[in-house]
Every structure is written in C-alpha cells, then in structure tokens.
Amino acid sequence: MIADDGFPHALPHGPIEEVFPDVFVVRGTFRMAPLVTIARNMTILREGEDLTVVTSVRLSAEGEAALERLGTVRHLVRLNGHHGIDDPYYAAKYKPTFWTLPNLKHPSGLASDRHLGADGLPVSNARLFVFERPTVPESALILDRPEGGILCAVDSVQNWTDADLAVCSFVGRIATRLMGFMGPAKIGPGWRRLCEPKDGVGFRPDFERLLQEDFVHLLSAHGSPLRGSAKDDLRATVRRLYGVG
C-alpha cells in the first residue's frame, strides 16, 4: 500500500539492534503477495556520525527517530537487482549519496549517484564482491573488522531461523519451509530458481570465489545474523549443492 507521501508505507519491523560495534540490523517484513509476508532485513553501518543504509527498509516514525539518534544517513546502498522498493523514500527523506552496481537501473527511475567498486565504497575497511553468474545483478559487501570479517549479503546467502519465521504470515511460513529456506548459510532457493544459469555449472564458480574471501559472520537481507560460523556453514552448503567447497 502507498502512504500519503506517495511511497510504500512502513511495514511491521523490530527495533534497531547493534549486532557488532557500529553495525546495526533491523528485522523487517515484506509483503510479496496477498497473504504472503516474509522477513526482510536492513543493515546500518556507522562511521563517526555518518550512517550507511544497506538494503533499505522503511521504518515507522518511532523507528526513524531511533535511526536519527544513531547519526545522519549519508549513504544508501543497493547491492542487487531485486531489493530496493524503499530506496526512493530514503533518497527523498535523507538526500543520501545513492550507490549501486554499474548499469543497475532502479525500477522507479531513481538514478545512482555513484557506482560501487568503480567509484570506491561508502564505508572504509570494506570490499565489494560481485557475483558473475546470476542473470540479475547481485553483490555483497565484506567488512574487515577486528571481530572477524562480516559478509553483508542480500539474496545470495541467507540464514533463516525460527525467529525469522515468527514475523512471516501463515502462508509465508509454509512457503519458506517448503522451498527449503530454513538452515544456516543457505544459498537463497528463490534466488537460485530465478537467477541461476541452467548450464550444469550454475553458481558454483561464484561461491568457490566467495569462499576464498575472509569472513566468519553473515548479515543477510533475509534471515538472522550468523556469528562465527558463516564461512564454514556456507562451505557445507556449497559442498552439498555443488560437490565442492
């Protein structure tokens, strides 16, 4: 539904949680279809007083007040071709620098200000990982942190738990279980179905590259934070799906 300001209205969400120093997550929701609501997360990175919003989720008035107490929204990041319904709202309200992959067009017509990778990154001590195989652009950020590398993914790697199911609708919970989303560091089943080449190779080369990166934690647009075992759990997933890892 559209709010009076012309943008999609805020859907139910939880509080802003600091999961690592200056790294915050909001567990939100997304209505995919009538009766089908699923979990959807936003990540917030803070450097000094500057905030970078990754995979935006519109917040309630109370949520926005909490966000603004953290700092000033300076950057807005879209990492893939699917998420982004709330980007125009953030762009209009906070006037941040909008970062996307090169040549990634926003359905609303919202133009990027800078390109991830080509123009650097909006946060320090971070690297961009770009998946080469999907039919729709997909990327992730890897944050180099004293507590260990953090993989910030969107649809590629997900970590659904019972806590995520709790915010889904009844139909959403059934669909999530039937499609195989549950479990640690899963390669998104819906993403595979929509975006994986059907050439017998699929996403295997991308995940072989990703497993060479340095990370131990996972923050995803879908699922709960996964601390300490993200790379090992992803390696087990890749081995199960592709026989390598």
The closest alpha carbon to 226, from 174, 170, 136, 153, belongs to 153
Query: What CA–CA distance (Å, rounded) separates 187 from 6?
Result: 34
Query: What CA–CA distance (Å, rounded) separates 199 from 187?
Result: 18
Q: Please give the pLDDT value at position 245.
A: 65
Q: Please give the pLDDT value at position 219.
A: 98
Topology annotation, domain 16-242: Metallo-beta-lactamase; Chain A (3.60.15)
Whether the model clears a pTM of 0.85, i.e. scores above it, the answer is yes
Q: Tell me how far the alpha carbon of residue 117 is from its chain's centroid.
A: 17
Alpha carbon distances (Å) from 118 to 10, 53, 92, 132: 32, 19, 25, 16
Q: Tell me how far the alpha carbon of residue 93 is from its chain's centroid.
A: 21
Q: Please give the pLDDT value at position 107.
A: 75
Q: Please give the pLDDT value at position 39.
A: 86
Q: Please give the pLDDT value at position 83.
A: 84
Q: Please give the pLDDT value at position 70.
A: 98
**Local confidence pLDDT in tens for the 245 residues of the chain:** 677 778 888 888 999 999 999 999 999 887 877 877 788 999 999 999 999 999 999 999 999 999 999 999 999 999 998 888 899 999 999 999 999 999 887 777 888 999 999 889 999 999 999 999 999 999 999 999 999 999 999 999 999 998 888 887 888 888 878 777 899 999 998 888 989 999 989 999 999 999 999 999 999 999 999 999 999 999 999 999 998 76
Enumerate the domain spans of the chain.
Answer: 16-242
Vertex 127: Cα angle to 126 and 129 (nearest 5): 145
Q: Please give the pLDDT value at position 34.
A: 82
Q: Tokens in use for 61?
A: 């008035």
